[in-house]
């Protein structure tokens, strides 16, 4: 599955998409994340939850979709409604799926743990299924 490439897209690319990228990479999936309006920073609580689960990498950073638009992806996953509505058209016809998660930004750390667990339980199996089919 590592030969297939996944883009996880959200609005700010500071929480949900970074967490999803990390979870997918930890499972051996070639993943990248980006934001339609990237914040330019990784939320400290997103980093903390990834560190506590042993999957933080210093390569994770907040980037705009413009930085990755020319890459070939086998699957694009939008994780928020804003990203779904503003998802750009990629040069190559790319399968896009929507798996929304509530934004933990600005909330207590427990919400980041909840988001991490939801991404692991919900997003990961759907992405694996879509990469196989």
> Residue 81 belongs to what domain range?
5-124
Q: Tell me, what CATH number does 69's domain have?
A: 3.40.50.2300
Nearest one of 66, 104, 98 to 82, comparing CA atoms: 98
Of the listed 9, 80, 99, 119, which one is catalytic?
80
| Residue 80 falls in the annotated catalytic set | yes
Q: Which of 7, 8, 9, 10 is catalytic?
A: 10
pLDDT digits (tens, 9 = 90+) for 52-110: 999 999 999 999 998 998 888 999 999 987 666 766 666 667 888 999 999 999 999 99
Q: Is residue 21 part of a domain?
A: yes
From 1, 68, 69, 87, active-site residue: 87
Paired with 96 in beta bridges are: 76
Give the SS3 label for residue 36: coil
* Cα–Cα dist 8/19, whole Å: 10
Mean pLDDT along residues 31-47: 94
Is 129 within a domain? Answer: no
Residue 132 in domain: no
- The rounded distance, in Å, linking the Cα atoms of 41 and 44 is 9
**For residue 130, is it within any domain?**
no
HSE of 27, CA atoms in CB hemisphere, 13 A: 21
Q: Give pTM, 2 decimals.
A: 0.93
Q: What is the pLDDT, as a whole number, of residue 132?
A: 84
Buried b (16+ CB within 10 A) or exposed e, 3-42: ebbbbbbbbbbbbbbbbbbbbbbbeebebbbbbbebbeeb
Whether 15 is a known active-site residue: answer: no
């Amino acid at each position: 599955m590592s030969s297939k490439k996944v883009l996880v897209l959200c609005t700010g690319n500071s929480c949900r998409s970074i967490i999803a990228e990390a979870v997918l990479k930890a499972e051996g999936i070639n993943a990248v994340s980006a934001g339609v309006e990237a914040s330019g920073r990784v939320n400290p609580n997103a980093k903390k939850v990834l560190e506590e689960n042993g999957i933080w990498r210093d390569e994770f950073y907040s980037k705009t979709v413009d930085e990755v638009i020319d890459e070939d992806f086998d699957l694009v996953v939008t994780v928020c409604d804003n990203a779904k509505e503003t998802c750009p058209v990629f040069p190559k016809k790319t399968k896009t799926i929507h798996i929304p998660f509530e934004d933990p930004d600005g909330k207590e750390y427990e919400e980041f743990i909840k988001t991490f667990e939801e991404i692991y339980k919900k997003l990961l199996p759907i992405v694996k299924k879509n990469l196989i089919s």
